């Protein structure tokens, strides 16, 4: 009889607790377009302001990137964004994935900022592609105030100076 009562208690308390834990920790909807998600390999135009990833950028940064993209196109270089604005939730997911990939928070922070430090979350950073556009922007970006800010990410640009101004020294990585 005690076993039955024990099982009864288990089913009465433990099972509902586990179900609550499972549904609250596993039921989060995946990040999507509303979070600024851009699929791997996507070529997102900086002019596609229907997308939250573009529409939620700082207006001055968006104008500078659009002007640079026009001028790059005039030079025969296609410029697209691989990521731009991101929600805190999306940034948190990327950070957690980086911890898994790199094995520690310290190493992950070299490549992915925490949600409270990310310039993508505030709409103040874009990642540019393809590589020839990164190169073009590294050579011409300061004319628009756009600067590569991390030495280990040739694709990451921020509005870090006024048009024609000098770019600040690059930080080693996102953890700096």
pLDDT digits (tens, 9 = 90+) for 126-171: 999 999 999 999 999 999 999 999 999 999 999 999 999 999 999 9
Gap between the Cα atoms of 40 and 83, Å rounded: 9
Number of other residues whose CB lies within 10 A of the CB of residue 17: 9
Q: Where are the alpha helices (DSSP H) in 109-170?
A: 131-140
CA distance 78 to 132: 8
Helix (H) or strand (E) holding 23, with range, is helix 15-26
pLDDT digit string, tens, across residues 98-138: 999 999 999 999 999 999 999 999 999 999 999 999 999 99
């Amino acid at each position: 009889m005690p076993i039955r009562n024990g099982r009864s208690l288990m089913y009465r308390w433990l099972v509902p607790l586990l179900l609550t834990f499972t549904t609250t920790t596993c039921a989060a909807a995946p990040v999507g377009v509303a979070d600024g998600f851009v699929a791997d390999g996507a070529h997102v135009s900086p002019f596609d302001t229907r997308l939250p990833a573009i529409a939620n950028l700082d207006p001055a940064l968006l104008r500078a990137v659009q002007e640079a993209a026009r001028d790059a196109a005039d030079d025969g270089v296609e410029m697209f964004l691989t990521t731009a604005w991101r929600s805190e939730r999306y940034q948190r997911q990327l950070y957690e994935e980086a911890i898994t990939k790199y094995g520690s928070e310290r190493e992950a922070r070299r490549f992915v900022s925490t949600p409270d430090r990310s310039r993508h979350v505030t709409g103040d950073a874009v990642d540019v592609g393809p590589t020839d556009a990164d190169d073009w922007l590294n050579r011409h970006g300061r004319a628009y105030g756009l600067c590569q800010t991390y030495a280990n990410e040739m694709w990451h640009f921020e509005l870090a100076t006024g048009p024609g101004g000098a770019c600040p020294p690059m930080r080693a990585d996102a953890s700096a």
